[in-house]
A and B are shown apart, each in its own frame.
Chain A
Amino acid sequence: MKIALVTDSTVDLPADVIEQHHIHIVPITLIVDGVTMEDGGGKNSEVPMIDRNKFYRDLPQMKTFPTTAAPSPINFQKVFEHLLNEGYDHILSVNFSKELSATVNNAFLAAENFAGKVTVVDSRQISMTMGFQVLAAAEAIEELSSSASLSPEEVVKEAVRRMNDVRQREFIYALVDTLEYLHKGGRVSWVKAAIGTMLKMKFIISVVDGQVTRVGQVRTRRGGWEKIKELLTPHTPFERLGVFHCGADPEEVNEIVEMFVQYLAPSPSSASVNKPFVIPLTPIIGAHTGPNLIGLAVLSCKAS
């Protein structure tokens, strides 16, 4: 049987990993100073793709705040149709938190047209932590697709079960220099109150229950990363580790990688090396957090 794994461009997995697991990406659109662009997408797309590092360099100078547009139900419908026509028996679509976007809802709406052949899951996460779930689903599909005794629905069910398990064991933290962009983006409720501080602050944010939450405030980067390390130490070692950033200084990004790579468990198979992912953050989120952010996503080896 063939099961298609679909997600959106906010998944923030390395390109080679995406190809290796045949993950289908539905691109999300951004309007940057009047120009419509796509974040990730197919090779056949007519819409220009965003150069993420350039996006973060340009962000402070942009005249208008970049707006994001969730793929409409029609977009999803086309994708699902196409895949089913290609011979896939079932489609599993994993999308980012409904609190942060209409994307997953639109996917649900589109799925209704396909009489049970499309399963849509709200990852309750964004970026790499959604990526970890997608990878778990991909592995489940690869392991079980060739099984004669399982139906496609049962394979998808197992994939979803593994995603739920991953969701309990993964953590995401980021350090933002300023609340200005979160404030402009208007999607995070606590920002207005936090802005009143007279001292320059950096904020540690996370995603919990699908929402961007405030974990703490610090005065220095070092203080922020020390705190993040404190929060993650009980969850070491890590099965997976990823560092994302909004056009931050590569040296600084590397420092963070170095700080946490020691906790990355060796790969279970000798065939592959467990390497940390380092990727610029999807601008769908990055437009709301602002440039220079550095963040960390980990999947703990420990059961929750």
Chain B
Amino acid sequence: MTTTTIDGQELKRLAEAGLKWLRMNQQIVNAYNVFPVPDGDTGTNMVLTMQSAYDEIGQSLEKSAGKMAQALAHGALMGARGNSGVILSQIWRGFARAVDDQEVIGVECLIKALSTARDTAYKGVVRPVEGTILTVTKDIALAAKTAYEEAEKLGKTINIVEMFERIVKAADESVQRTPELLPVLKQAGVVDSGGKGLFFIFEGMLRYLHGESLEAAAVYHPIPITHFDEHVMDMVEDGQDYEVVLDFVPTRALQWDDFYAQLEQFGTSIQIGEGEGMYRVHIHVPAEKRYHPIDYAISLGQVTKVVIENLQTQMNESKPEGNNLHKFIQNHIEEGQIGVIAISPGAGISRVYSSLGAAAVVNGGQTMNPSTQEILEAIEELPTDKVIILPNNKNIIMTAQSTKSLSQKKIAVIPSRSVPQGLAAMLHWNPEGDYEEIIEEMTSSLKAVRTCEITNATRSVEMNGVPVKEGQLIGLVDGELLVSSTNLQDCCLQTLKAAQAEDYELITLFYGAGLPKEEAENIAAVIREAFPNQEVELQEGGQPHYPFIISVE
């Protein structure tokens, strides 16, 4: 690379740097989730999206920046997960479109690319909201243009590194301003997570340009244990043989910088989760240092639990089909019939969709968000070209919609924001029905059912006048946080009351993975007693993070 242009290989390294740095800091991004719920993690979704973009070009020796950009954009598009992932893929798409078939990206081209990225991102959102990743994209594009114009006025030229310095600074400032533009961010005391994620991508690129390390996290701070996810650090780095996860209770308050620094002597992929009076440490270590983290933790307090796993066997076992059960052809559909693809968060719920006639079920996996590609594969596998998708999660609607431009088939996305909504819609499906009529019926059926969701708060916050402590149980009614409680049974009862369940006929409880069947049955019995005029049905849902998803109709 020269100081004034970026070629294909340079673009590849920049993308890699952006990805690495974002991955390093993804938990920070996740922690900025406005809603204190453990799914729809923006950071993880953006990492997975960038990863998919990078996977497309990782082995490529392409010198043309234009071709590299196209490939990156394609990878991002296919791997997009969650709303933030989809918008990120739109940013790449706009970027690639502007670069077109040019061999190198010069300063002027960069400015144009950022503007086009902004335009494409905004166009991709039905109702653009300021104070989000869109605003950051806008501010970056403006900063780039301004930097160039200022230099011109002074009769100077500006190089790529200087451009990136201005871009990153603008991104940072834009992210800090997001609470001013979006009141709900201010209320929750956070900045916009998608914007922060974008900032990290560009900051990573700048760190690369400056020759700075991408291995160390920007901030040393443990994340809430509800956000702790071992599988998120899924890469096996060279030289690392074992994964060590340990729980410990320190005798004294920890000095985080020292703690992290010490762990970095042992290995990589360090993640620290903070629970109630305890910490969970995750680290990858080489064989000869496999006990070092444990000894170190013992020296600081009491170690209560240790799990050591061989990374190689872990990798071998987690084959793509095994772990994620992406697509699941459930029911035979004839050509010309209407096939429904349901996105499901749990095995039990998948079975229910299957029993109702869903042609295919796509499992969202641990992040509960499937990628565009995963949904697309299910679409293409169906023998029919009349497809209806039920996303069943507000963070999956955009991902589902982006499949429309990627397939020749007729695709309609029913905007179901929860499993209960999706099931209500499913009942109106008729394989032989008129496509447009069925879509209309399924869509209007969404409002006939109320959704209650019970989960653990990932953050302390006050919402709708309800004070919530991190880790507490919270109850949401149709997406609104209305209840907090320290007890699962009580949370369920209160949430059902808040949903006015006594005015309805049928309460269906889907219990999550990790909740023993017996406990679920006990709670169902208590609910039956509390709501004697309602029918109460209990089904195994198998979903992660949510002990109960409840439909009230």
Residues of A within 8 A of B (CB): 196-200, 216-223
Contact with A along B412-439 (1 / 0, CB 8 A): 0000000000011001100000000000
The residue in chain B whose Cβ has the minimal distance to the Cβ of A222 is: B505
Q: Which residue of B lies closest to A217 (CB)?
A: B427
Q: Is the CB of B539 within 8 A of A199?
A: yes
Say yes or no: B553 contacts A198, CB within 8 Å.
no
In the complex the two chains form, is B535's CB within 8 Å of A200's CB?
A: yes
Q: Are B356 and A199 in contact (CB under 8 A)?
A: yes
In the complex, are the beta carbons of B553 and A199 less than 8 A apart? no
What is the CB-to-nearest-CB distance from A219 to chain B, in angstroms, rounded to a whole number?
6
Is B100 on the interface with A (CB-CB < 8 A)? Answer: no
* C-alpha gap A90/B351 in the complex (Å): 60
Q: Which residues of B contact A200 (CB under 8 A)?
A: 506, 535, 537
Q: How far is the CB of B451 from chain A (nearest CB, A)?
A: 14
- Chain B interface, number of residues (Cβ within 8 angstroms): 17
Q: Which A residue sits closest to B424, measured CB to CB?
A: A219
User: Complex Cα distance A218/B423, Å?
Assistant: 11
Would A199 and B423 count as touching, CB distance under 8 A? yes
9 interchain pairs, CB-CB under 8 A: A198-B355, A199-B352, A199-B355, A199-B423, A200-B506, A219-B427, A219-B553, A220-B506, A223-B448
Partner of B505, one of A197, A198, A217, A220: A220
B366 at the interface (CB under 8 A from A): no
The CA of A197 and the CA of B352, in the complex, are separated in Å by: 7
Taking the complex as formed, is B508 at the interface, i.e. its CB lies under 8 A from any CB of chain A?
yes
For the complex of A and B, the 4 pairs showing the least CB-CB separation, nearest first, are A220-B505, A198-B355, A197-B355, A198-B352
- How many interface contacts (CB-CB < 8 Å) are there between A and B? 34
- Contact of A198 with B448 in the complex, beta carbons under 8 Å: no
Once the chains are docked, how many angstroms separate the CA of A196 from the CA of B356?
8
Q: CA separation between A217 and B425, bound complex, in Å?
A: 11
Q: Which residues of A contact B506 (CB under 8 A)?
A: 200, 219-220
Cα of A198 to Cα of B356 in the assembled complex, Å = 8
A199 touches B505 (CB 8 A): no
Distance in angstroms between the alpha carbons of A222 and B504 in the assembled complex: 9
Do A196 and B355 touch (CB < 8 A)? yes
**Distance from B510 Cβ to chain A, minimum over Cβ atoms (Å):** 10
Contact B351 A198 (CB under 8 A): yes
State in angstroms the CA–CA spacing of A219 and B420 once bound together: 12
Q: Which residues of B contact A (CB under 8 A)?
A: 351-352, 355-356, 423-424, 427-428, 448, 504-506, 508, 535, 537, 539, 553
Q: Do A223 and B553 have beta carbons less than 8 Å apart? A: yes
Instruction: Let me know if B356 and A197 touch, CB within 8 A.
Output: yes
Task: Tell me if B427 and A218 are in contact (CB < 8 A).
Answer: yes
User: Within 8 Å CB of B504, what residues of A?
Assistant: 220
Which residues on A sit within 8 Å (CB–CB) of B553?
A: 219-220, 223
Residue pair B427, A221 in contact (C-beta under 8 Å): no
**Minimum distance in angstroms from B373 CB to a CB of chain A:** 29
Q: Please, how many angstroms separate the alpha-carbon atoms of A153 and B205 in the complex?
A: 96
Residues in B with CB closer than 8 Å to A198 are 351-352, 355, 539
Nearest CB in chain A: distance from B145 CB, A = 56
Interfacial chain A residues near B505, Cβ < 8 Å: 220-222
A248 to chain B, nearest CB (A): 15
Contact A199–B448 (Cβ < 8 Å): no
Complex CA–CA separation, A196 to B535 (angstroms):
20
**Bound-complex Cα distance A22 to B74 (A):** 80
Which residues from B are CB-within-8-Å of A199? 352, 355-356, 423, 508, 537, 539
Residue of A197, A199, A218 with highest tally of chain B CB at under 10 A: A199
Contacts of B423 in A (CB 8 A): 199
* Chain B residues closer than 8 Å to A217, beta-carbon distance: 427
Instruction: Using A199-B352, A199-B356 as known contacts, list a sample of 14 further A-B pairs with CB atoms less than 8 Å apart, ordered by residue number in A.
Output: A199-B355, A199-B537, A199-B539, A200-B535, A216-B427, A218-B427, A219-B424, A219-B506, A219-B508, A219-B553, A220-B504, A220-B505, A220-B506, A223-B553
Q: How many Å from the CB of B300 to the closest CB on chain A?
A: 50
Query: Could you tell me the distance between the alpha carbons of A199 and B507 in the complex, rounded to whole angstroms?
Result: 11
For the complex, give the distance between the alpha carbons of A220 and B539 in Å. Answer: 17
- Cα A219 to Cα B535 in complex, Å, equals 11
Q: Within the complex, what minimum Cβ distance (angstroms) separates A214 from chain B?
A: 10
For residue A233, give the distance in angstroms from its CB to the closest CB of chain B.
Answer: 15
Q: Which residues of A contact B351 (CB under 8 A)?
A: 198
User: Which residue on chain B has the smallest CB distance to residue A193?
Assistant: B357
Minimal Cβ-Cβ distance residue in B for A201: B427
Residues of A within 8 A of B535 (CB): 200
Distance between Cα atoms of A222 and B427 in the complex (Å): 15
- Which residues from chain B contact A223 at a C-beta distance below 8 Å? 448, 553
B427: chain A residues within 8 A (beta carbon): 216-219
Q: Which residues of B contact A219 (CB under 8 A)?
A: 424, 427, 506, 508, 553
**Chain A residue contacts of B356, Cβ below 8 A:** 197, 199
CA distance A198 to B352 in the complex (A): 6
- How distant is B353 from chain A, measured CB to nearest CB, in Å? 9
For the complex, give the distance between the alpha carbons of A216 and B433 in Å.
12
The interface residues of chain B lying within 8 Å CB-to-CB of A221 are: 505
Instruction: Output the nearest chain A residue to B540 by Cβ-Cβ distance.
Output: A198
Instruction: Tell me, in angstroms, the Cα distance from A218 to B449 when the chains sit together.
Output: 12
CA distance A200 to B423 in the complex (A): 12
CA distance A183 to B504 in the complex (A): 29
A196: B residues at CB distance < 8 A: 355
Q: Chain A residues with Cβ under 8 A from B355's Cβ?
A: 196-199
**A220–B537 Cα gap in the complex (Å)?**
12
Name the distance in Å between A37's Cβ and chain B's nearest Cβ. Answer: 33
A225 to chain B, nearest CB (A): 11
A266 → chain B closest CB, angstroms: 34
Q: A200 vs B537: C-alpha distance in the bound complex, in angstroms?
A: 8
CA of A216 to CA of B508, assembled, Å: 20
Chain B residue at minimum C-beta to C-beta distance from A227: B428
Complexed CA–CA distance, A220 and B427 (Å): 12
B387 to chain A, nearest CB (A): 21
In Å, the complex CA distance between A218 and B424 comes to 8
Nearest B residue (CB) for A230: B441
Which of chain B's residues has its CB closest to A214's CB? Answer: B430
Q: Looking across the interface, which residue of chain A has its beta carbon closest to that of B353?
A: A198
CA distance A198 to B353 in the complex (A): 9
- From residue A256, how far is it (CB to closest CB) to chain B in Å? 15
Report Cα–Cα, A196/B357, bound state, in Å: 9
Q: Whole-angstrom distance between the alpha carbons of A238 and B180 in the complex?
A: 60
C-alpha gap A200/B551 in the complex (Å): 13
